Structure 1
């Protein structure tokens, strides 16, 4: 993959040891692929539908359902991806005013609570998927069982929970304060601090 101007590699490289690092790197690449394909497919589907509707007076009958599937996929693949890169929204006014030791302790608490929340949401989303599957609902146009479009939800919550748990471990074992397993807390030059 190409390098940026400052020489930093844009490709994710796991800081986890051995086989865990290999799995982490694979998951990162898979998430990036899913997100890229999802966005491209949604854009192409929407553009083709608009052209079909206004030029040929015929729209694609399944466009709305396909875009809904892709939005769910992108959203729940994206939460793990954002956690991996430390890109979730953070309210840092109080956090930034704390000493390094207090920021580190607070980051550990935040990461653990967030990981537990994500694992809880994973559990509850599985229960929801089972209820939807038992209802027998299908998408009208695509004739796909509705529960299938929600299968990415628990996966996204689980991967995000793992990322936050690993962030807590990284903060327990490293000297610096980490937003994710490889992103040190702070602001880049291109970020705007308000």
Structure 2
């Protein structure tokens, strides 16, 4: 179990590193391109391509990070109003279904990456192999699927609480005792 926790911690640090630098690169490329165009009437041809790569990386590598932190998009109106047992059931069912979809997407996107690799396509400005851009898509889907399975597992093993992420409890279960005695 210690090995899994160590690997998980390493993956978390890698995700944070990749996401942080992807956002910084996006900002630098977009602002740099705008400034260059305004000041010098010149726009570097690689700026759009680098921004596109950074956006793809941030988007797909962010799936796992968002699932881990319980920050993924959710339509929770009915979930929030549901009693504990229903929320507990949904906290197991929804991550399982999401993981299954992500694994299917990882499979098909890996086939696409393989097809791009075999085609020998390169990007227009940087002339780097195009599959470098797309390789992060199946990796992100795979890591996201694994993370949603972990979210499901933590909800199976912890019967008294609902978790949105591996270390994030459901905000509906937060103790509201601190609000008692407060008068508006």
TM-score over 0.5 for the pair = yes
Q: Which one of the candidate residues 145, 155, 165 is aligned to 1:180?
A: 165
Alpha-carbon distance, 1:143 to partner: 0.5
Alignment gaps of 5+ in structure 1: 1-16, 189-194
Alpha-carbon distance, 1:97 to partner: 2.2
Q: Which residue of 2 aligns with 1:54?
A: 38
TM-score scaled by length of structure 2: 0.89
Q: Which residue of 2 aligns with 1:6?
A: none
* Aligned pairs, number: 172
Q: Which residue of 2 aligns with 1:25?
A: 9
Answering whether residue 74 of structure 2 is matched by residue 90 of structure 1, we say yes
Q: Which residue of 2 aligns with 1:120?
A: 104
Over 4 Å off, 4+ runs: none
Answering whether residue 23 of structure 2 is matched by residue 39 of structure 1, we say yes
Answering whether residue 151 of structure 2 is matched by residue 167 of structure 1, we say yes
TM-score scaled by length of structure 1: 0.84
Deviations 1:70-102, CA, capped at 9 Å, x for gaps: 110010111111101001111112112222112
Q: Hey, what's the Cα distance between the residues in 2 that align with 1:42 and 1:58?
A: 18
Q: CA RMSD for the aligned pairs?
A: 1.4
* Structure holding more helix per residue: 2
SS of aligned partner of 1:179: strand
